[in-house]
Amino acid sequence: MIIILLGYMTSGKSTIGRLLSQKLRYDFIDLDHYIEKKVGASIENIFKSKGEIYFRTLEHQSLNDILEEKGDLVLSLGGGTPCYANNMNVINKNDKVLSLYLKASIGTIVERLWHEKSKRPLVSHIKDREQLLEFVGKHLFERAHFYEQADYNIDINRKPSKVIVEEIEDQLF
């Protein structure tokens, strides 16, 4: 089985993915790290030097490569992965995949993003919290349709990672 975690930036996909994979004794892959290793450049540098279209194409190819792997694993997607290149259809049509949307409120996302926005190409240019709030609200509205297609929705607001992992286990088993 491949368990895919999806959701907006800072929803905890990588953190929860690592913890869940350890608990289930599954392999763990963070799609962004997989791409960085494959290309030998950071996501930020790929965006800057090659552009978003190049990145989204690479992301789609990498997702397909991972989905062809055998064995049990937890896969953490980038925030935009489900929204481009028909990726949600690819995920939903694969019978060995179970997808989970780690759903965070706009307030939770803004609070987390504010402290690490310099590392996030899509929001690094935003100067104040009000602009960030507006950006996240609009962006999340555009992406929610894709996220909501996941097999399960897990509310992550005000919950420790350990509790979220337990909730996921309860959903799965």
Residue-wise pLDDT tens for the chain (173 aa)? 999 999 999 999 999 999 999 999 999 999 999 999 999 999 889 988 999 899 999 999 999 999 998 899 999 999 999 999 999 999 999 999 999 999 999 999 999 999 888 878 788 889 999 999 999 999 999 999 999 999 999 999 999 999 999 999 998 87
Angle at 164 between CA 28 and CA 95, to 5 degrees: 50
Q: Which two tokens stand for residue 31?
A: 């799609």
pLDDT at 29: 98
In the chain, the domains with their CATH numbers are 2-163 (3.40.50.300)
pLDDT at 118: 82
Q: How far is CA 97 from CA 5, 8, 12, in A?
A: 11, 20, 19
pLDDT at 124: 86
Name the amino acid, one letter, at 165: V
